[in-house]
Amino acid sequence: MTSSTFIILSAAVFLGAFVSGLAGFAFSAVAGALLLHVLPPTEAVPLMMACSVAVQATNLWALRDSIAWKESLTLVIGGVLGAPLAIWLLQIADARILKEGFGALIAIYAAYMLLRPSLTHLNRMTRNRNVMIGFGGGLVGGLTAMPGALPTIWCDLNGVPKAQQRGLVQPFIAVMQIFSLVLMLSRQQLSPNIVSEFAYSLPALAAGVCLGIFAFRNVQDATFRRTILVLLLFSGVALIV
């Protein structure tokens, strides 16, 4: 690995880990903007998944007092059912159109909510609806590597406070990322360079996620919500361009 590649790798992982530590998602959207310029997709995508799993594990430990395992189970059940459908769709449909379509939807939603922040909350979160949202999250995650986007929007629509939102969505994202990695391992789709690249990225990953979690604990709910919407907007645009 050249020194320039190492610097870009470290910068990408640090920024992605910081954002994910702060918001709970969007590691791939942020890190991928840099990593995909220096690594082929066959290496960048599984590397981002591995780093994201490490970030999610750190988030789960750091926020363990607010993690709602029982409530998140409904999202996880739906997500595990939705992910295999995404794999099937990738084989028969145009992945680019699916990604761009979803990117446009979340970008429009985020932009609208940033302009109309006083919209009345739905307050309609139930177990059955959470299973459906989890199913959609697993489906979208398999197509875009962003399983947390749909559950995050669902929490925002229902006015869920930041700590409760992280406690609900964080386990879901972790399970979906691990599930995706297992599927890739089962198909022997991982590059042999992943282990060394992951090792090189660990210092930047640790620094980024620790700073992100510190920022999360010190940010107000209103600021946290605006941050989430900005990241959703950025993620949506990143899927389109």
pLDDT band at residue 85 using 50, 70 and 90 as cut-offs? confident
Alpha-carbon gap, residue 25 to 144, rounded angstroms: 13
pLDDT band at residue 187 using 50, 70 and 90 as cut-offs? low
Which of 39-43, 102-106, 136-140 is predicted least confidently?
Answer: 39-43
Say whether pLDDT at 54 is over 70. yes
- Contact predicate 157/230, CB 8 Å: no
pLDDT digits (tens, 9 = 90+) for 106-129: 888 888 888 876 656 667 778 889
- Residue that the structure tokens 């006083």 belong to: 118
DSSP structural state of residue 124: -
Which tokens in the block code for residue 186?
Answer: 């089962």
The mean per-residue pLDDT over the stretch 163-192 comes to 80
pTM for the full model?
A: 0.80
pLDDT computed for residue 241 by the predictor: 75
Nearest to 82 by CA among 138, 132, 130, 152: 138
- 189 versus 25: the higher-pLDDT residue is 25
The mean per-residue pLDDT over the stretch 73-94 comes to 84
pLDDT digits (tens, 9 = 90+) for 128-174: 899 999 999 988 887 777 788 889 888 888 888 888 888 999 999 88
Mean pLDDT, rounded, of the chain: 84
Which tokens in the block code for residue 201?
Answer: 């990225």
Angle at 163 between CA 208 and CA 82, to 5 degrees: 85
Give the chain's largest Cα–Cα span.
52
